């Protein structure tokens, strides 16, 4: 939802940086992989569990990857390569699309990490340092600490 909100026109407060942690960026691809929309998407949008042309159209319209445009804020994506809930290809595709638009997007892959953040410190204890340093570089130390 944050990715889509940032891409929306008329933001009152400009977003200066975006961080995605194992984010679903392409709702259509994720739903096809699962064999239908996740229970979260079903609840959020009032969708049936099966795919239909209407469901695909709604998911495509709500997918952050389809809302990307030139001028999107610098983005850091963090994703475990053992994530079975939201697969790494979601972050790879988002990064490729944003770079193709001339955007600034970094992807930090956590080796052996699954979807839960609790697993991340075990798999890659440095991920919080990567995040903090990236925020400092993009926003400056005083902004990143807020």
Domain ranges of the chain: 2-25+72-144, 27-62
Q: What's residue 85's pLDDT?
A: 96
> Does residue 11 register a pLDDT over 80?
no
Beta carbons within 8 Å of 135's beta carbon, 6+ residues apart? 17, 19, 76, 143, 144
For residue 141, name the pLDDT band (cuts at 50, 70, 90).
confident
For residue 1, name the pLDDT band (cuts at 50, 70, 90).
very low
Q: What is the pTM of this model?
A: 0.87
Max CA pair span of the chain: 48
High-pLDDT (> 90) share of the chain, %: 85
Pick the CATH number of 2-25+72-144 from 2.60.40.1170, 1.20.58.220, 3.40.50.1820, 3.90.950.10: 3.40.50.1820
Q: What's residue 146's pLDDT?
A: 55
Cα angle 107, 6, 115; round to 5: 40
């Amino acid at each position: 939802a944050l990715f889509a909100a940032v891409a929306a026109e008329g933001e009152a407060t400009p977003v200066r940086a975006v961080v995605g942690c194992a984010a679903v960026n392409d709702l259509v691809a994720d739903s096809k992989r699962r064999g239908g929309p996740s229970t979260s998407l079903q609840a959020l949008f009032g969708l049936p569990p099966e795919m239909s042309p209407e469901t695909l159209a709604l998911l495509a319209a709500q997918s952050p990857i389809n809302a990307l445009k030139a001028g999107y804020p610098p983005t850091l994506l963090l994703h475990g390569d053992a994530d079975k809930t939201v697969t790494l290809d979601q972050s790879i595709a988002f990064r490729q699309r944003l770079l193709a638009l001339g955007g600034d997007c970094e992807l930090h892959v956590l080796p052996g990490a699954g979807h839960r953040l609790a697993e991340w410190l075990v798999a890659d204890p440095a991920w919080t340092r990567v995040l903090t340093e990236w925020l400092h570089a993009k926003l400056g130390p005083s902004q990143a600490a807020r």
